[in-house]
């Protein structure tokens, strides 16, 4: 198999263009671009027809856009770094409603769960909030322990990392269920592995009991590089680091006669991509794909870590990432390059 570019789009005429992970709703491809105008941040969200990449609408704003996500009403929510949320009509690109979160600086939203999202403060804004789409307002607001990363909602609980801390909050009230910290060991973006919480740091992967916060397992890769995003299947985790190495670890869970859980890890394989990896990977059948900052989309065999193929996508990934649409791969990267890629046998 080899990769073939089916379509390309170029967002041009701006300086210092970066992108975020695209979003696909129905037949629409929504892409967020950030850029500079005379030293000030600006943002443009563009909606393309996902089949032919024709432009359907554009929406501009004069601040940094963190991320986009699908709302419960099938519209688009844009999260801005200055504490603003704007809901955009999917069909027309017109604003439906604007929300002021009363946060000076904030990061990306969490995943959407039961019509709620979590947003945490960054750069001196030390609070975390829950926004409820049903009530169209902030449900609760609590202290967030410091500069935060992307929160994660799992089974009615919020997992949020700030500096060397991880905190578990009740989704409906914001009350603290448990918290854990270890000096000089930063925690970044949490996710779940089976019923556990897994989070990366500087060359470290920590596994926590999601109920009580007990540290179940720590993996040390031996390289003190940042691990931002982790994904998993039923028995392994997969992640890259800022040195450009991509890893797969097999995780085994056992319980003793009183039900105490123990996790063990074994390195399955690792692959040197030769470019920093910050973005979230994706599964594609028995393969795993990711983008690095060497301007490459890379496809590996999930079982053995062998290189299936790689292709130049003309820009660095940063914190963008690939999305899958009808067995094709769509990427949006720095310098405004958008690509639609398929695998072929020719």
pLDDT tens per residue across span 171-186 = 999 999 999 987 767 8
Cα separations (Å) of 63 from 32, 87, 210, 333, 342? Answer: 12, 16, 36, 19, 34
- Predicted confidence (pLDDT) per residue in 129-163, tens digit: 999 999 999 999 999 878 899 999 999 999 999 98
* Beta-bridge mates of residue 44: 33, 60
Position 246 scores a pLDDT of 98
N- to C-terminal Cα separation, the chain: 8
pLDDT at 322 over 80: yes
The residue among 261 and 26 whose pLDDT is bigger is: 26
Q: CB within 8 A of 305, min separation 6: which ones?
A: 246, 248, 268, 269, 270, 271
- Predicted confidence (pLDDT) per residue in 110-132, tens digit: 999 999 999 999 998 999 999 99
pLDDT at 240 over 90: yes
Within a 10 A sphere around the Cβ of 142, how many other Cβ atoms? Answer: 18
pLDDT averaged over the chain? 95
Average pLDDT for 27-32: 98
Position 183 scores a pLDDT of 72
- Nearest CA-CA partner of 192 in 251, 267, 244: 251
pLDDT at 248 over 70: yes
**22: pLDDT confidence band, cut at 50, 70 and 90?**
very high
Place of tokens 């869970």: 253
pLDDT at 93 over 70: yes
Widest pairwise Cα distance in the chain: 66
**344: pLDDT confidence band, cut at 50, 70 and 90?**
confident
Instruction: Provide the whole-model pTM.
Output: 0.95
- Identify the helix (H) or strand (E) that includes residue 211: none
Position 184 scores a pLDDT of 65
Report the distance separating Cα 27 and Cα 87, nearest Å.
19
Q: pLDDT > 90: what percent of the chain?
A: 90
**30: pLDDT confidence band, cut at 50, 70 and 90?**
very high
Report the distance separating Cα 56 and Cα 36, nearest Å.
24
Is residue 188 within 8 A of residue 226, CB to CB? The reply is yes
Pull the structure tokens for residue 214. 């007990």
Average pLDDT for 204-223: 95
Can you give the length of the chain in residues? 346
* Beta-bridge mates of residue 209: 196
- Predicted confidence (pLDDT) per residue in 281-307, tens digit: 999 999 999 999 999 999 999 999 999
The residue among 184 and 320 whose pLDDT is bigger is: 320
Report the distance separating Cα 114 and Cα 123, nearest Å.
28
Position 75 scores a pLDDT of 97
Average pLDDT for 204-214: 95
Beta strands 40-49 and 28-37: pairing type?
Answer: antiparallel
């Amino acid at each position: 198999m080899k990769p073939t570019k089916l379509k390309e789009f170029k967002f041009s005429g701006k300086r210092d263009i970066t992108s975020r992970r695209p979003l696909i709703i129905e037949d629409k491809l929504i892409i967020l671009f950030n850029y500079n105008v005379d030293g000030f941040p600006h943002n443009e969200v563009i909606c393309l027809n996902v089949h032919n990449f024709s432009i359907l609408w554009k929406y501009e704003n004069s601040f940094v856009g963190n991320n986009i996500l699908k709302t419960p009403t099938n519209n688009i929510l844009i999260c801005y770094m200055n504490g603003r949320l704007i809901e955009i009509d999917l069909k027309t690109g017109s604003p439906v409603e604007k929300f002021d979160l009363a946060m000076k600086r904030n990061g990306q939203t969490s995943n959407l769960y039961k019509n709620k999202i979590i947003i945490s403060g960054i750069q001196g804004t030390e609070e975390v909030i829950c926004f409820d789409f049903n009530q169209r307002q902030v449900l609760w607001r609590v202290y967030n322990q410091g500069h935060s990363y992307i929160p994660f909602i799992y089974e009615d609980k919020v997992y949020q990392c700030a500096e060397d801390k991880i905190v578990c909050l009740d989704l409906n009230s914001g009350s603290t269920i448990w918290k854990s910290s270890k000096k000089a060991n930063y925690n970044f973006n949490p996710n779940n592995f089976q019923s556990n919480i897994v989070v990366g740091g500087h060359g470290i992967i920590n596994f926590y009991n999601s109920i009580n916060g007990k540290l179940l397992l720590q993996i040390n890769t031996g390289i003190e590089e940042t691990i931002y995003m982790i994904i998993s299947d039923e028995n392994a985790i997969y992640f890259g680091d800022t040195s450009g190495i991509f890893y797969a670890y097999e995780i085994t869970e056992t319980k003793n006669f009183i039900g105490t859980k123990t996790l063990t890890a074994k390195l399955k394989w690792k692959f040197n991509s030769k470019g920093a990896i910050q973005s979230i990977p994706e599964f594609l059948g028995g393969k795993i794909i990711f983008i690095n900052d060497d301007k490459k989309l890379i496809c590996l065999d999930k079982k053995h870590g062998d290189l299936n193929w790689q292709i130049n996508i003309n820009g660095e990934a940063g914190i963008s990432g690939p999305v899958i649409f009808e067995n094709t791969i769509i990427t949006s990267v720095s310098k405004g390059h958008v690509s639609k890629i398929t695998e072929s046998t020719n």
